[in-house]
Amino acid sequence: MANKRMLVIILLIIFGFSILVSVPIIILSTGFSPYINVEGIPEPFEYFTSNTSGVHKLSLNLDVGDIEIQYTTTPVDFLAKIELHIEMVGQNLVGQSVNDYFIIEWDDSNTMPTFIMELEKDTDWFNTSKWIKQEVSILVTVNANILFNINSTTKEKGDFGIYIPGGTNVNNIVVNTKKGDIVYELIWCTLQGNITGLVDSGDITLRANNVKYTHNNMWDLTNNNGITTLDIIQSRAMGANLTGIGNINRGDVLVKYRDNSPNIGASFKFYNYSGGTWYREENYWKGFDGPIPLGYSGSMFTSYDFPSTYNYKLSFFLEHENPRSYTINLTSE
């Protein structure tokens, strides 16, 4: 009797497990396609020109998708290359191609090559009940020997990241995204232009490690809802001054700054819409005078060697009422 009871229990377990396995398979087979790389992904787009001198322009205009820009020091014959990676799982995908969901255009016939990727009408892209997975990424590889102005716009949703290695020159970088994060990473490179970033909802991170500047360059960052982070390390000669403005509507600001040269000075101004306490208790500054009041709603920190041969001059503005705050960690030697 006990053996029969045990056999029944085992059969019930096996039956229950088979139900658990078969139901998702049935659902996927009737309503969703299996995990696939959507058909019709274009081959990489490449930009060539016999004139490699001067400043070249690259424009990226998307509705959705993550953009990553990398510079290559490996010898290549192109000036820039754009690769698409698209993976989707959802309803009625079998037999569908990329062209059923996107309008993709590449124009390299003029002095400003332009990549456009827009959603087709009635794709129901933002109807979450119809999708299990939507991943769209664009990898842009730039020849490190070419000087580029880069202009990137994402109208709906997508992250942006640009990674500039040592020994590379870069000109203007303009990024505008509605929803997503922006990351600028500049490592031992030379900035010959300005950096502009605008995000409606997301975080902005700018890392500058021993960047050299060629004239009075400008950083202009606007964040309507998110965290803005600056991480600056400077031990080599700057070559020119750097001025920065950060406008934050709703969100926090994190600033890390380190220099170890008497020829490098720094000034930071922090404005707070509502006045009162503007920073958290973990703030730290070494080699700086401050906080120096700037009227009712602001405070300033200046390094002991400010003004110096070359200087960072950064100002931040918190536009909205609480809750938001500054967190700072400043060191100048």
pLDDT beyond 80 at 211:
yes
Domain-by-domain residue ranges, the chain?
1-31, 36-332
pLDDT beyond 60 at 124:
yes
Between 258 and 284, residue with greater pLDDT: 258
* pLDDT value of position 184: 98
pLDDT beyond 60 at 30:
no
Contact by Cβ (8 Å): 270, 293: no
Between 273 and 202, residue with greater pLDDT: 202
Q: Which amino acid is at 169?
A: N
Mean pLDDT over residues 216-237, rounded? 96
Among 317, 164, 329, 333, smallest CA distance to 231 is for 329
Mean pLDDT over residues 280-299, rounded? 83
The CA-atom distances, in angstroms, between 200 and each of 20, 68, 304, 320 are 42, 19, 36, 14
Lowest-confidence region among 29-33, 259-263, 275-279, 288-292 = 29-33
Dig out the tokens for 10 from the structure: 């085992």
* pLDDT value of position 228: 96
Residue 28 binned pLDDT confidence (cut-offs 50, 70, 90): very low
Residue 113 binned pLDDT confidence (cut-offs 50, 70, 90): very high
* pLDDT value of position 328: 92
Between 262 and 3, residue with greater pLDDT: 262
pLDDT beyond 70 at 19:
no
The CA-atom distances, in angstroms, between 305 and each of 48, 165, 332 are 47, 29, 8
* pLDDT value of position 50: 85
Bridge pairing between strands 114-119 and 102-107: antiparallel
* pLDDT value of position 16: 55
Mean pLDDT over residues 302-326, rounded? 87
Give CA 229 to chain center in angstroms.
Answer: 12
* pLDDT value of position 23: 44
Mean pLDDT over residues 152-162, rounded? 98
Q: Which amino acid is at 271?
A: Y
- The mean pLDDT value of the chain amounts to 87
Mean pLDDT over residues 264-270, rounded? 96
Among 32, 16, 268, 238, smallest CA distance to 132 is for 32
The Cα 251–Cα 318 span in angstroms is: 8
What percent of the chain is modeled with pLDDT above 90?
64
Residue 321 binned pLDDT confidence (cut-offs 50, 70, 90): low
Q: Which residues make beta-bridge pairs with 206?
A: 184, 230
Q: Which residues make beta-bridge pairs with 137?
A: 66, 85
Using only C-alpha atoms, the chain has a radius of gyration, in whole angstroms, of 26
The Cα 233–Cα 101 span in angstroms is: 44
* pLDDT value of position 230: 98
Contact by Cβ (8 Å): 127, 34: no
Residue 16 burial (10 A CB sphere; 0-12, 13-18, 19+): exposed
Lowest-confidence region among 23-37, 66-80, 190-204 = 23-37
* pLDDT value of position 17: 57
Mean pLDDT over residues 251-255, rounded? 92
Mean pLDDT over residues 11-37, rounded? 51
Residue 211 burial (10 A CB sphere; 0-12, 13-18, 19+): buried
The Cα 156–Cα 143 span in angstroms is: 28
Residue 15: CB atoms within 10 Å: 10
Between 88 and 30, residue with greater pLDDT: 88
* pLDDT value of position 298: 84
Beta-carbon-side half-sphere exposure of residue 133 (alpha carbons within 13 Å): 14
Mind listing the pLDDT tens digit for each residue in 164-193? 999 999 999 999 999 999 999 999 999 999
pLDDT beyond 90 at 303:
yes
Mean pLDDT over residues 132-152, rounded? 95
pLDDT beyond 60 at 202:
yes
